[in-house]
Structure 1
């Protein structure tokens, strides 16, 4: 491994002073600053799109991102002896966001608003990556899957504890799922989608605490491997849901996160409805239903049963949160 790493490093115009393993990569201290060296399975087109997005953030807002460096041959990819592709990216000596630290999460929300305000590529022309399935289509597919699983469990003569619990919770969560789908059908979602395509609006695709590094007053955004032309408030939904799960669905925190984002990038009414619909949708319940249906039905996972019981136990808190944010989104 050491020999392979040395061969890759020699192909870059920098001097490495020290290195250490980090999450799925190598962190290098060089004469030009911190670098991250990692194996990469993305295509050339994918890397070029990501770099186009990052360059937009650098040019328009001077925001720190994990820019990919070219090697001595002016190529993004460097091959090892086994013909695997590696990339070298700029990195930062920062700390990940603590999702239980309310001021920290608030900064994340405001930073996301700034990112989205800058991420407009001016049209979804050839060479960009576009969200493959709309949120409305995704909800419709998931709802059909939930009904299919309910029918399957109902047809069983003997049911285990997980199956009984899934059935007992079905009506309340499926009702939320149907209402969320209806909201998307009525809010002008298609017009919002066409505007997203026309303006080339990009979402990060994985805006989690792992990919946001705090460096004093600055924030670095990393890992754009899921970036795409898509409904931007989906990033805000991902951040909100994770923050709410970590903070017992704290209504005031949820309201403040939405307002903090909105101050940096004002949401249209249709976007607010889409965001509320996604928050209303019982994603955790659907994931457990989907996992159950695609696994061995004869074996019950105690871990998944615990997750289901936890979801049901938090529903009162989640309902209070939804009531709070509905007042500012609808």
Structure 2
């Protein structure tokens, strides 16, 4: 018995008072930490054991969303392993725990054009399969519908809040000096993006998407796409999934990729056209997407975390603010050439 305990090291801490073998009806052969999960080898295959601090209704939403995708033909994602009595997760003393099937592979390489196209197609396929999702009464998260304008106005207000504190004053350190040197063009970008969003067909796009009841993944970044040994691509980590415009996922991913390539028109065209081939983008969505890409999200985050929440070091905020301003000319040039139709 002692040897068995050694093989499942850490599981008593992760799931105190829970006999995982009994609850799931399996035999644990080995367990080791891999990033934010525990990889568990069992007599029924390999699983990822994860603990989260979500409320039960949110984790239920994640479970139902992933099952909806699977049942609609999108099966390039992990599934929840149910307990013997049919539960998708368990309540522990300090969180919720659940098992997913383990997806073997490594993080995707977005510098590889073939893999990048796989990722973009996967996003489009996920959005297609997500439509028609209606969670049960047990599944609930804070809705994100219709929140973009208010969210961006709050971010703009944060920038002005810090600006009002320091403008006209002699900066006392490099952080304050960098902020004062860089903030005005970023205020202009934020204001222009909000103005364009308000003038865009955003309400019509929102109405159509709400009727379709589609999902977004919420965190389309390279480390959430796993390139498997057989050359396939899988998407993981649905912690931020929600009912939302698909442009939410798309804008987040595009912004990251365009920054990496200094707002390359070629990169933008590749992403847009690859997605459009799978799940066509409407002209009104392109207007909304262009407006959202004006919003200086990364700059706002550097300011908010450098001055308001203090979650970044001064050096971290300085670096990010300077990086965003250095890209500004190419950023504007890209948005000036942004397509109105595909």
How does the TM-score come out when normalised to structure 1? 0.88
1:280 is matched with which residue: 279, 294, 306? Answer: 294
2:163 maps to 1:150: yes
Q: 1:59 to 1:124 in 2, by over 3 A?
A: closer
Residues matched between the structures, number: 326
1:200 is matched with which residue: 213, 217, 227? Answer: 213
Counterpart CA distance in 2 for 1:72 and 1:308 is: 52
Q: 1:268 to 1:196 in 2, by over 3 A?
A: same
1:209 is matched with which residue: 193, 201, 222? Answer: 222
- After TM superposition, list the pairs within 5 Å mapping 1:261-276 onto structure 2: 261-276=275-290
Match of 2:100 in 1: 89
1:169 is matched with which residue: 177, 182, 191? Answer: 182
Match of 1:250 in 2: 264
Q: 1:175 to 1:239 in 2, by over 3 A?
A: same
CA shift, 1:77, in A, is: 2.7
- After TM superposition, list the pairs within 5 Å mapping 1:84-163 onto structure 2: 84-121=95-132, 127-129=139-141, 130-131=143-144, 134-163=147-176
Counterpart CA distance in 2 for 1:282 and 1:204 is: 21
Match of 2:325 in 1: 312
1:185 is matched with which residue: 198, 205, 217? Answer: 198
Residues 122, 198 of structure 1: 8 Å contact kept = no
Residues 276, 329 of structure 1: 8 Å contact kept = no
CA shift, 1:119, in A, is: 0.8
Structure 1 consecutive aligned stretches of length 4 or more whose deviation exceeds 6 Å: none
Instruction: Give unpaired runs (5+ residues) of structure 1.
Output: none
1:41 is matched with which residue: 48, 53, 67? Answer: 53
2:243 maps to 1:232: no
Q: 1:238 to 1:56 in 2, by over 3 A?
A: same
Counterpart CA distance in 1 for 2:91 and 2:107 is: 30
SS at match of 1:87: strand
SS at match of 2:182: helix
SS at match of 2:267: helix
